[in-house]
């Protein structure tokens, strides 16, 4: 299967701390890869480097062979990589559907000239975007909540909305930072089913996930990180069975 | 009757200024205290152009475009500076503008200002009389309010709203936040240019004192009292605040007390609303 993203020897330090220390792994098109490792392993730093929120000190990041390290975050999204945030960062005073509309890849109508001087065109654009957003909400199962305020939906639904926003960018590679953390049993099942469905739609996913049961459930590949390095990458069964990694992950207590 | 007409005309002009300020302060959260300076630029630009004999539409367009460009330039620091720091920058811009109005006397007439600014005529009817000019300001306010409503209802308006709530999340969606912010700054500037030009025509005389920092604060107070991020708030606020001097005229104060008493009333109103009803009359928290 074709490699979509190739992270090669990426290093990134904060002062004296090496958050990433020669980190390398590859994502194959259409697969779900879970990024696992103890707290402080560098998982979010990897996300930040891939999406341009941080610039790597050294190393290469290639999307379909093209180098993207150091590009502006905006350009990286346009090339097809979008992320969600651990702390959601939803637009809380807005409705569910407006959260999606704001993130749509389609730029038309996002200027004052169109909005004020071409009102009919502007409303037609908004209508088209509303339809696109509704289709995305349907994919994540939030269509019934489209006109609710973000603050009026449950935490599980807010997490689904994060996925909808990422989908709105039309990116083919989705980076999800702990999409299942804090979810109850039912919401968890919904999220796992959604991640599978996205994979079925041809999206490539990189997911930070702590729950090994879920990792086994969704992952085609597991990348195990520790102290800024990739210790193992491969089949979930093989990686998760390794006792040395389990010791690191659980601190040897289990 | 003229008294009442003058009140309505001024309130309409300041409603346009409040809308201009609303775009920056209310909608995307750029806290500007230099809107009066921009209004002054619009007023002077129109006055100079009209005195030089340029026809009304050309002079007005000149004021609008100049203010749009200037506002884009002066908003640029806000793209790097977080909220509180921009207030200081904007305060500086206001002071610089006042200094320019006073000292660039070849163009602005210095402290004595510019007198005899001509009012335009339409279809042979002069708008020098308030009962005629009120048609102009009313139409201008309707156009400005319609523009505001259209903008806020568009997908652009939604993105602007989102920038104020969480700019980083908008960037993460691939939006060019810089371009989006500069666009709304230009609109805000054009509105201020319109307000300034109408003000110059209405009074037919302008001087630097009309565009000082306290006028910027007055416009902000109008926004706070009316309610930020609302269309109705931007219109209600100016009508309420400008009615205060009218009511004070009913109480016979010594002439030297009128100015300070008015400032005191504005100040009390601003503090009272900030404490008791920060969302203003029309209802949204700044």
- Residue B233 counted as domain residue: no
pLDDT tens for B73-92 read 988 877 666 667 778 888 99
Whether residue A253 is predicted with pLDDT greater than 50 in this model: the reply is no
E strands present in chain B? 114-115, 121-122, 125-126, 205-206
Spatial separation of the C-alpha atoms in residues B192 and B41, rounded to whole Å: 9
Spatial separation of the C-alpha atoms in residues B169 and B165, rounded to whole Å: 9
- Residue B262 counted as domain residue: no
Spatial separation of the C-alpha atoms in residues A95 and B187, rounded to whole Å: 26
Chain B residue numbers with beta carbons less than 8 Å from the beta carbon of A83 are 172
Q: Where in chain A is the domain with CATH 3.40.50.300?
A: 1-80+174-185+195-254
Predicted pLDDT at A89 = 96
Indicate which of B20, B65, B75, B154 best probes the interface with A, i.e. most A CBs within 10 Å of its own CB: B154
Spatial separation of the C-alpha atoms in residues A250 and A25, rounded to whole Å: 23
pLDDT tens for A57-112 read 999 999 999 999 989 999 999 999 999 999 999 999 999 999 999 999 999 999 99
pLDDT tens for A137-156 read 999 999 999 999 999 999 99
CA-based nearest residue in chain B for residue A48: B172
Spatial separation of the C-alpha atoms in residues A100 and A148, rounded to whole Å: 13
CA-based nearest residue in chain B for residue A116: B147
**Of residues B155, B161, B176, nearest to A126 (C-beta):** B155
Flag if A110 and B162 touch (Cβ within 8 Å).
no
Chain A residue numbers with beta carbons less than 8 Å from the beta carbon of B230 are none
Q: How many domains does chain B have?
A: 1
Name B109's Cβ contacts closer than 8 Å, sequence gap at least 6: B115, B207
- Residue B276 counted as domain residue: no
Cβ proximity of B7 and B243 under 8 Å: yes
Q: What share of chain A has pLDDT > 70, as a percent? A: 99
Within 158-197 of A, beta carbons closer than 8 Å to B belong to 165, 168-169
Closest-CA distance of chain A to residue B119, Å:
27
- Residue B110 counted as domain residue: yes
Q: Render A98-156 in DSSP notation, one character per residue.
A: HHHHHH-S--TT-SHHHHHH-HHHHHHHHHHHHHHHHHHHHHHT-GGGTTSBGGGS-HH
Does domain A1-80+174-185+195-254 match CATH 3.90.1310.10?
no
Phi, psi angle pair for A180, to nearest 5°: -105, -5
Look up the pTM and report it. 0.90
pLDDT tens for A9-54 read 999 999 989 999 999 999 999 999 999 999 889 999 999 999 999 9
CA B86 to chain centre: 18
What stretches in chain B show pLDDT beneath 70? 1, 79-83, 284-286
ipTM score here? 0.90
Question: pLDDT class for A157, splitting at 50, 70, 90?
Answer: very high
- Residue B12 counted as domain residue: yes
Chain A residue numbers with beta carbons less than 8 Å from the beta carbon of B28 are none
Can you read off the two tokens belonging to residue B157? 């308006």
**Of residues B147, B158, B168, nearest to A102 (C-beta):** B158
Phi, psi angle pair for B258, to nearest 5°: -60, -50
- Residue B228 counted as domain residue: no
Q: Between A253 and B153, name the one with better pLDDT.
A: B153
- Residue B221 counted as domain residue: no
Chain A residue numbers with beta carbons less than 8 Å from the beta carbon of B194 are none
Spatial separation of the C-alpha atoms in residues A150 and A145, rounded to whole Å: 9
Spatial separation of the C-alpha atoms in residues B49 and A191, rounded to whole Å: 64
Within 90-109 of A, beta carbons closer than 8 Å to B belong to 90-94, 98-99, 101-105, 109
Flag if B155 and A122 touch (Cβ within 8 Å).
yes
**Of residues A91, A122, A165, nearest to B154 (C-beta):** A122
pLDDT tens for A179-233 read 999 999 999 999 999 999 999 999 999 999 989 999 999 999 999 999 999 999 9
Flag if B172 and A51 touch (Cβ within 8 Å).
yes
Q: Strand pairing partners for A33?
A: A206, A221
Compute the count of residue pairs across chains A and B with CB atoms less than 8 Å apart. Answer: 98
Q: Say how many C-beta atoms besides its own lie within 10 A of residue A151's C-beta.
A: 10
Predicted pLDDT at B81 = 61
Cβ proximity of A160 and A190 under 8 Å: yes
CA-based nearest residue in chain B for residue A104: B173
Please give the residue range of the domain that contains residue B91: 2-212
Strands A81-83 and A173-177: parallel
List the one residue out of A176, A196, A181 whose CA is nearest residue A31: A196
List the one residue out of A187, A228, A221 whose CA is nearest residue A207: A221
Treating both helix axes as pointing N-terminal to C-terminal, what angle do B177-203 and B155-165 enclose, rounded to 10 degrees?
100
Chain A residue numbers with beta carbons less than 8 Å from the beta carbon of B156 are 109-112, 114-115, 122
CA-based nearest residue in chain A for residue B147: A116
List the one residue out of B168, B116, B154, B211 whose CA is nearest residue B27: B154
């Amino acid at each position: 299967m074709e490699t979509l993203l190739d992270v090669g020897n990426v290093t990134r330090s904060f002062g004296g701390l090496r958050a990433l220390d020669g980190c390398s792994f590859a994502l194959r098109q259409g697969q779900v890869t879970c990024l696992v490792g103890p707290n402080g392993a560098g998982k979010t730093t990897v996300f930040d480097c891939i999406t341009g929120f941080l610039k790597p000190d050294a190393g290469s990041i290639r999307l379909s062979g093209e180098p993207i390290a150091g590009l502006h975050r905006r350009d990286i999204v346009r090339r097809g990589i979008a992320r969600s945030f651990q702390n959601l960062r939803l637009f809380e005073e807005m409705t569910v559907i407006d959260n999606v509309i704001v993130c749509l890849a389609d730029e038309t109508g996002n200027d004052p000239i169109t909005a004020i001087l071409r009102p009919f065109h502007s409303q037609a654009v908004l209508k088209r975007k509303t339809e696109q957003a509704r289709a995305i909400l349907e994919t994540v199962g939030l269509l019934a909540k489209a006109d609710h305020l973000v603050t009026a939906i449950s935490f599980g639904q807010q997490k689904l909305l994060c996925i909808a926003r990422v989908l709105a960018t039309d990116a083919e590679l989705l980076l999800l930072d702990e999409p299942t953390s804090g979810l109850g049993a039912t919401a968890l099942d919904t999220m796992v089913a959604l991640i599978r469905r996205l994979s079925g739609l041809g999206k490539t996913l990189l997911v930070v996930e702590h729950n090994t049961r879920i990792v086994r459930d969704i992952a085609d590949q597991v990348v195990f990180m520790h102290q800024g390095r990739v210790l193992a990458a491969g089949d979930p069964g093989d990686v998760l069975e390794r006792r040395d990694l389990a010791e690191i992950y659980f601190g040897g207590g289990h | 009757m003229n008294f009442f007409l003058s009140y309505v005309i001024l309130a309409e002009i300041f409603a346009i200024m409040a809308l201009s300020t609303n775009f920056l302060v209310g909608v995307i959260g750029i806290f500007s205290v230099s809107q009066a300076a921009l209004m002054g630029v619009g007023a002077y630009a129109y006055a100079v152009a009209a005195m030089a004999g340029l026809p009304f539409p050309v002079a007005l367009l000149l004021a609008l475009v100049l203010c749009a460009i200037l506002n884009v330039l002066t908003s640029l620091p806000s793209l790097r500076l977080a909220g509180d720091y921009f207030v200081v920058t904007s305060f500086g811009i206001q002071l610089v503008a006042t200094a320019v109005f006073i000292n660039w006397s070849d163009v602005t007439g210095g402290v004595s200002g510019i007198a005899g600014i001509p009012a335009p005529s339409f279809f042979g009817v002069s708008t020098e009389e308030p009962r005629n000019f009120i048609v102009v300001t009313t139409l201008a306010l309707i156009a400005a309010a319609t523009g505001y409503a259209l903008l806020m209802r568009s997908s652009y308006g939604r993105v602007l709203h989102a920038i104020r709530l969480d700019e980083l999340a908008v960037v993460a969606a691939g939006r060019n936040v810089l371009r989006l912010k500069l666009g709304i700054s230009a609109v805000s500037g054009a509105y201020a240019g319109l307000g300034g030009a109408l003000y110059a025509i209405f009074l037919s005389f302008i001087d630097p004192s009309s565009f000082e920092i306290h006028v910027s604060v007055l416009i902000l107070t109008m926004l706070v009292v009316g309610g930020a991020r609302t269309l109705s708030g931007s219109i209600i606020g100016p009508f309420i605040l400008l009615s205060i001097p009218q009511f004070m005229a009913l109480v016979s104060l010594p002439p030297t007390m009128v100015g300070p008493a008015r400032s005191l009333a504005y100040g009390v109103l601003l503090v009272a609303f900030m404490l008791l009803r920060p969302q203003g009359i029309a209802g949204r928290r700044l």
